[in-house]
Amino acid sequence: MVEAITAQEMQLLERYTIDEIGVSPLVLMERTAMSVIEVLGAGDFDLSNVLVLCGLGNNGGDGIAIARLLIQKGINVDLLILGDEKRASPRTLNQLNIARNYGIEVKQRASDFRSYTAIVDALFGIGLSKPVPAKLGDVIKRINSANVPVVSVDTPSGLDATTGEILGSSIRAAATVTFGYAKTGLLKNEGLKRAGNIYVKDIGVYKYPDFDAEQASAE
């Protein structure tokens, strides 16, 4: 049986790793980005023209780091941030500053998604608990209709990572790279149709003393 935990359980593990163990959240973001790069570079995806789509939350920060590492490798990447940067999370703002220090252009308008050979979805992460706003839902629908392979970061945007239900609109991913453990929502309901191939990557998240992934998987 695949060990899977809820979004809330993963958030507790991340908080414990950062607050109690003392691992920097930026270190976790870099490890997250490197894990996605590993999947992207394994040969299953055409990386000749990549779009990295980012939201304002921490998942978007992961996406910005992914874009930076791809560009470091000489890959043609468009980095698209949807939303007002002033409302971005502190970690995402930090990643934006790093990207700009490296000379990366940040786009803020969606273009023709069909022109890309692969799309990295870092719009919404496992923290999403309410329906996707209509404008972003339209973007998701356009991406799905473009028939370009999508790799989602942690969970397909718009999918409840715990229940597997669609929150208004959801990305249909070719692959999902998730971290620490699989999320329960990827393995049931609409998650079975939306997550694509699931890759579980270790990014160095620590277990708190009474954590039991097997028990979490059975609940």
| Residue at 79 is within a domain | yes
Say if residue 49 carries a ligand binding annotation.
no
DSSP-H helix ranges across the chain: 7-15, 25-40, 58-72, 90-101, 134-146, 191-194, 213-218
Angle at which helix 25-40 crosses helix 90-101, to 10 degrees, equals 60
Give how many domains the chain has, as a whole number. 1
User: What is the C-alpha separation between 77 and 70, in angstroms, rounded?
Assistant: 7
User: What is the C-alpha separation between 122 and 151, in angstroms, rounded?
Assistant: 9
Say if residue 147 carries a ligand binding annotation.
no
| Residue at 186 is within a domain | yes
Average pLDDT of every residue of the chain: 94
| Residue at 127 is within a domain | yes
What's the farthest any 2 CA atoms get from each other in the chain? Answer: 48
Say if residue 130 carries a ligand binding annotation.
yes
Say if residue 83 carries a ligand binding annotation.
no
User: What is the C-alpha separation between 24 and 45, in angstroms, rounded?
Assistant: 31
Span 106-161, pLDDT tens digits: 999 877 999 999 999 999 999 999 999 999 999 999 999 999 999 999 999 999 99
Say if residue 44 carries a ligand binding annotation.
no
| Residue at 217 is within a domain | no
CATH number for the domain including 62? 3.40.50.10260
pLDDT of residue 27: 97
Residue 49 has pLDDT above 60, yes or no: yes
SS3 call for 109: coil
Say if residue 212 carries a ligand binding annotation.
no
Span 155-196, pLDDT tens digits: 999 999 999 999 999 999 999 999 999 999 999 999 999 999
User: What is the C-alpha separation between 154 and 171, in angstroms, rounded?
Assistant: 12
| Residue at 216 is within a domain | no
SS3 call for 119: strand
Say if residue 193 carries a ligand binding annotation.
no
Say if residue 62 carries a ligand binding annotation.
yes
Say if residue 58 carries a ligand binding annotation.
yes
- Structural domain span for residue 192: 4-207
